[in-house]
Amino acid sequence: MTEWVKRPKAYVPDLRQLGALCDGNYQRLNKLRQLESADAAVCEFELHREHQYLGRVRIQVLQTAKYTETLLLEQVHNSGRWLNNPQITVRVYHDALMAEVVSCYRQRQIAPVNDYPNRFMHHPDEKVQVNGFLADWLDYCLRFGHLPLEHAAWSAGEGAD
């Protein structure tokens, strides 16, 4: 008796979903970067919910080209509230108005599709999941992000001589 083994269907990425996430992440990043000068190589802002300090987020420009930028987004100074502070490298495509996660924690490039199971147990749709996390994190930053008081005073001219 021959037993037929049903193989799982190969994962096919939903390019519309990924494209929508990357479009939205581009818009979110632009709003966050407007907190400071657009020309700054490093943008930092604090996260506050009412009177509770939630941490500080840094957006650093790692590389620029004619139509693209590579940014490092990381949460720092968080008083130990997060188990692992997010640290994500994002490629910003200004011509396509998209921002895509290229790596997490500076360890490796994220593959568009992973075989499953695999040696490191990465999900087949990991790229979509990580870009979805970036969208959620950027929304969180937009909701609770503020310039540090010392920077806000300096920008307003109060710290100038």
On whether residue 126 sits in a domain, the answer given is yes
Instruction: Give the model's pLDDT for residue 86.
Output: 84
On whether residue 80 sits in a domain, the answer given is yes
On whether residue 52 sits in a domain, the answer given is yes
Instruction: Give the model's pLDDT for residue 143.
Output: 93
Give how far Cα 139 sits from Cα of 84, 103, 148, Å: 19, 20, 19
C-alpha span between 86 and 49 (Å, rounded)? 19
Give the number of domains in the chain.
1
On whether residue 19 sits in a domain, the answer given is yes
**DSSP classification of residue 10:** P
On whether residue 119 sits in a domain, the answer given is yes
Instruction: Give the model's pLDDT for residue 161.
Output: 40
On whether residue 1 sits in a domain, the answer given is no
Q: Which two tokens stand for residue 101?
A: 């996660």
C-alpha triplet 83, 87, 91: angle, nearest 5°: 155
Instruction: Give the model's pLDDT for residue 159.
Output: 43
Q: Tens-digit pLDDT profile for the chain (161 aa)?
A: 556 666 667 766 677 998 999 999 999 999 988 866 556 788 888 888 888 888 889 999 999 999 999 999 998 875 555 557 889 999 999 999 999 999 887 666 776 666 666 676 566 677 888 899 999 999 999 999 887 655 444 344 444 44
On whether residue 154 sits in a domain, the answer given is no
Give how far Cα 42 sits from Cα of 73, 77, 133, Å: 10, 16, 22
Instruction: Give the model's pLDDT for residue 29.
Output: 95
On whether residue 158 sits in a domain, the answer given is no
Ordered alpha helix ranges (H), 34-104: none
> What global pTM score does this model have?
0.77
Q: Provide the residue range defining the domain that includes 97.
A: 15-144
